[in-house]
Amino acid sequence: MLVVQLSDLHFNERVELPSNRYDFSVAAARLAKLAGRIKQLGRSYGASKVVIACLGDFLDSDRRLDELLSNATNRSKATLLAVDILRAFMLDLRSEFELEVYGITGNESRVKPELGWSDELATDSYDLMIYAILRRGFEGTDGIAFCGFQANELLFEVMGRTFLCLHGHQVGANLQKSVQEITGKYAARGITVDYTLFGHLHATAIGDYHARNASLVGSNAYSEAGLNFCSKAAQNVHIVTAQGLDGMKVDLQDTSGIEPYPFASEWEAYCPKSAGKLHEGAVVYQVIV
């Protein structure tokens, strides 16, 4: 079986840098590339099922002025575009594998400005909305099962191994120590966590007991100018066999030759970059001498 980490997609973010470009079309192409690599790995290992762990931040925040200026459209419209693209991604994978989908909330997709940890506040999130729309849309579809969504943390099992899903904003700077502290509270309940999946920092880090996901976006103005921190678009895929678990980063930065998934053009037209598609030039006043 394959386990796919899907996090920090930030669908409504727009990036225009010499080193990186990101918008809905780029996101759709990068996910198409990811699906292609998943299918290659699945065929190589004879996988029958793909488990998708949705780890939050599927939309960008709009709490700060810099984010408002960078966002391609408002988050309600971005939700519908995200559903379109993720639906195509899942149908692409379903052509070769059965799917199980799990989800948790991130921090950037929250509706309220305040970061909350209670279930009621944390699930006031566009991450839940996207997951729920997809779940209802695929209801009754053979081979696609939406198996659970929770705030902040979630456990699932694959081939006898227990995976813990986090977004990553609760993980400290000392990565391994922090992850072991979090899994320790589960050990106190008699639950052994074999592997922890998370994202948040937009940089890949795969270890013996944990894997941090990068983002679908790659570098943006804040990371490069504010943090002096460059990153690449990537997501992680793990091959789970009876003998062990092999984790790998899938580099999604370059999508040359990749056809992006289609999405609703009527919503795309409202993006600032595409607004011109709605208007035709016309002469308002003409002076002839």
* Distance (Å) of CA 231 to CA 31, 149, 180, 242: 17, 29, 26, 33
Give all domains of the chain, ordered by start, each with its CATH number. 2-278 (3.60.21.10)
Instruction: Give me the residue label for tokens 């894997």.
Output: 211
- Supply 243's token pair: 């003998």
Quote the pLDDT of residue 276: 47
How far apart, in whole angstroms, are the C-alpha atoms of residue 122 and residue 285?
Answer: 55
How far apart, in whole angstroms, are the C-alpha atoms of residue 62 and residue 235?
Answer: 24
Quote the pLDDT of residue 19: 85
Report helix, strand and coil shares of the chain as percent, to nearest 5. Answer: 30, 25, 45
- Supply 268's token pair: 């795309």
How far apart, in whole angstroms, are the C-alpha atoms of residue 289 and residue 279?
Answer: 29
Q: What is the CA radius of gyration of the chain?
A: 20
- Quote the strand ranges of the chain, DSSP E: 2-6, 15-16, 21-22, 49-54, 98-104, 144-150, 153-158, 161-166, 195-198, 205-206, 210-212, 234-241, 244-251
Q: Share the mean pLDDT of the chain.
A: 88
- Whether the pLDDT of residue 132 is over 70: the answer is yes
How far apart, in whole angstroms, are the C-alpha atoms of residue 234 and residue 249?
Answer: 7
Model confidence band, residue 206 (pLDDT cutoffs 50, 70, 90):
very high
Model confidence band, residue 227 (pLDDT cutoffs 50, 70, 90):
low
How far apart, in whole angstroms, are the C-alpha atoms of residue 12 and residue 73?
Answer: 6
Quote the pLDDT of residue 73: 77
Quote the pLDDT of residue 278: 42
Q: How many residues does the chain have?
A: 289
Considering only residues 71 and 130, tell me which one the structure prediction assigns the higher pLDDT: 130
Percent of the chain exceeding pLDDT 90 equals: 66
Instruction: Give me the residue label for tokens 């944990």.
Output: 210
Model confidence band, residue 63 (pLDDT cutoffs 50, 70, 90):
low
Quote the pLDDT of residue 272: 47
Quote the pLDDT of residue 115: 80
How far apart, in whole angstroms, are the C-alpha atoms of residue 238 and residue 208?
Answer: 12
Model confidence band, residue 277 (pLDDT cutoffs 50, 70, 90):
very low
* Distance (Å) of CA 92 to CA 54, 67, 287: 17, 31, 56
Lowest mean pLDDT among 26-30, 109-113, 193-197: 109-113
- DSSP alpha helix (H) spans, 46-174: 65-70, 75-94, 119-122, 126-137
How far apart, in whole angstroms, are the C-alpha atoms of residue 196 and residue 168?
Answer: 10
How far apart, in whole angstroms, are the C-alpha atoms of residue 223 and residue 184?
Answer: 32
pTM above 0.85, yes or no: yes
